[in-house]
């Protein structure tokens, strides 16, 4: 049975909304440090037999990620982004500083790992938003390959010949 219309049951609640995941910036930082240590203590393992009958287990360093941190904290990345975005810079400077520090550590660990070959540089570069961009500017049209042109009048044929000769009419 539904509650009657016009009820005020919500006034009887002892609290509204769910509890904060981290009540203090120190608790958020502590959770981040635990996550970083967990990554160090739990490398990614892969089987490597290199064509032999013996299977070797190879351990790879685990990169720090925001997604991994959120999973470690039993939260979603959406929660983290919303949480960080909703923080007032004047009232929650400590929380914002901790979030920024966490992101800097994650960025630095991935960048440094890719730079020295621990992580796949292409994957990390894409993840960090690092790209090589080259821009080609031209003053005219670019032609590639063969072009088939149907010339229907002698005047168009003359214009085409002039164009192909570099603008010099004979």
**Tens-digit pLDDT profile for residues 90-137:** 888 899 999 999 999 999 999 999 999 999 888 888 888 887 666 767
Count of CB atoms situated within 10 Å of the CB of 125: 16
Fold of 20-128: Topoisomerase I; Chain A, domain 4 (1.10.132)
Query: pTM of the entire structure?
Result: 0.64
Question: What tokens were used for 83?
Answer: 């949480």
pLDDT tier, 151 (very low <50, low <70, confident <90, very high otherwise)? low
What is the torsion angle, in degrees rounded to the nearest 10, for the CA atoms of residue 131, residue 137, residue 141 and residue 144? -40
Task: Give me the residue spans of the domains in the chain.
Answer: 20-128
């Amino acid at each position: 049975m539904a509650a009657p219309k016009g009820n005020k049951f919500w006034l009887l609640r002892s609290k509204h909304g769910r509890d904060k995941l981290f009540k203090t910036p120190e608790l958020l930082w502590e959770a981040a440090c635990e996550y970083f240590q967990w990554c160090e203590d739990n490398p990614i393992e892969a089987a490597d037999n290199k064509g032999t009958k013996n299977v070797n287990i190879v351990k790879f360093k685990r990169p720090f990620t925001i997604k991994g941190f959120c999973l470690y904290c039993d939260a979603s990345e959406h929660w983290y982004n919303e949480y960080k975005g909703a923080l007032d810079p004047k009232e929650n400077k400590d929380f914002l500083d901790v979030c920024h520090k966490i992101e800097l550590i994650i960025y630095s660990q991935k960048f440094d790992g890719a730079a020295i070959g621990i992580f796949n540089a292409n994957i990390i570069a894409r993840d960090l938003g690092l790209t090589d961009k080259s821009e080609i500017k031209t003053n005219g049209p670019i032609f590639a390959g063969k072009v088939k042109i149907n010339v229907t009048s002698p005047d168009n044929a003359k214009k085409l010949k002039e164009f192909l000769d570099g603008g010099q009419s004979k």
